[in-house]
Amino acid sequence: MKPSPSQALSDATHKLLVPLVRIFLRNGKAAKSLYDLVKQVYVDLAKEEFGIGGKKATVSRIAILTGLTRKEVQALLAQPTKGDSSAESEYNRAARVIAGWLKDSRFSDGRGHPAPLPFEGKRGSFAALVKLYSGDIPVRAMLDELLYAGAVRQLKDERICLCARGYIPQKSTPEKLHILGTDTADLIATIDHNVYVAPHKPRFQRTVMYDNIPIEAAREFHAIAAARGQELLEALDRWLSNHDRDVNPTSKGSGRVRTGLGIYHFENSLEDEPVKPRKPKKAR
């Protein structure tokens, strides 16, 4: 018998909560802290997206939808709205600097490779690159962050050399968790779109997975996935940057959309489970 939609949702939620709760436990967060966050999100979403006639939901309607009391709803609505964190903005700017270095011929060595750049100069310098691709972030601050992340290094002649084809923040756990939260939210929003919002116009969502792979082959796949994934992302980055008004002010069109593609590699050991012959699972 197939599970009901409600049971299927509960099963799926249990799976996605496992890694989330693991992170909460690693950071000493009790169950109540997660429950408090869930209540706040329930109230915020019910208010903004589940009103009637295009209006925001009333306290009574929010209470009905969420199962909370009117008193709880009023208390949660009184909480100050969280502003956008600067972590995502810093992440995006640093990533754009590296992407610009990789694709912009003004910062290449003439053979299509990112050139070592002097720190200062109106053209072909690290300062020019940062000002072009990161907006108002101070050049020295960007250099310090990329050095700390291991994305660049300074040569003996003080030119700056690109060492990585992508940016992963190294500042601290909070910045990394913010980016992970953003990535996960994007994936779940895509699933919501494909299941409920517009299943007739699904967004791209595919996974390839096999569950009886030798350790040695898994190591090789890790390298292959990283290399080919980076290659695809760089190609897509070049296309998107040509249409992004921050990078290319001449880009034509109406409205404003945030769009992109995320790629992630997953792996977990199944050595404690008995090996059973199964039909291979193909890409979906």
pLDDT of residue 148: 85
d(CA 110, CA 37): 52
pLDDT in tens, the chain (284 residues): 788 989 999 999 999 999 999 988 988 889 999 999 999 999 999 999 999 988 999 999 999 999 999 999 999 999 887 655 555 666 678 888 998 898 888 998 888 789 999 999 888 999 999 998 887 789 999 999 899 888 999 999 999 999 987 777 665 566 677 777 888 999 999 999 999 999 999 999 999 999 999 999 999 999 999 999 988 988 898 899 889 887 788 899 999 999 999 999 999 998 765 555 555 555 55
Structure confidence at residue 35 (pLDDT): 95
> Residue 204 in contact with residue 261, Cβ under 8 Å?
yes
d(CA 2, CA 5): 9
The position carrying tokens 């907006």 is 135
Q: Which residues contact 11 (CB under 8 A, 6 or more apart)?
A: 3
The pLDDT value recorded for residue 254 is 96
H or E segment to which residue 2 belongs: none
What is the C-alpha R_g of the chain?
Answer: 23
pLDDT of residue 274: 52
- For β-strands 160-162 and 152-154, DSSP reports them as antiparallel
Q: Phi and psi of 152, rounded to 5°?
A: -135, 165
Predicted pLDDT of residue 27: 81
Per-residue confidence (pLDDT) for residue 29, from 0 to 100: 87
Task: Quote the tokens at residue 10.
Answer: 């509960």
Q: Is the pTM of this model over 0.85?
A: no
Per-residue confidence (pLDDT) for residue 234, from 0 to 100: 84
Q: What are the helix (H) ranges across the chain? A: 5-26, 31-49, 59-66, 70-77, 86-103, 126-133, 139-148, 173-192, 215-243
Q: Which fold has domain 86-162?
A: Arc Repressor Mutant, subunit A (1.10.10)
How remote is the C-alpha of 203 from its chain's centroid? 16
pLDDT for the residue numbered 81: 72
Q: Given this model, what pLDDT does residue 208 score?
A: 94
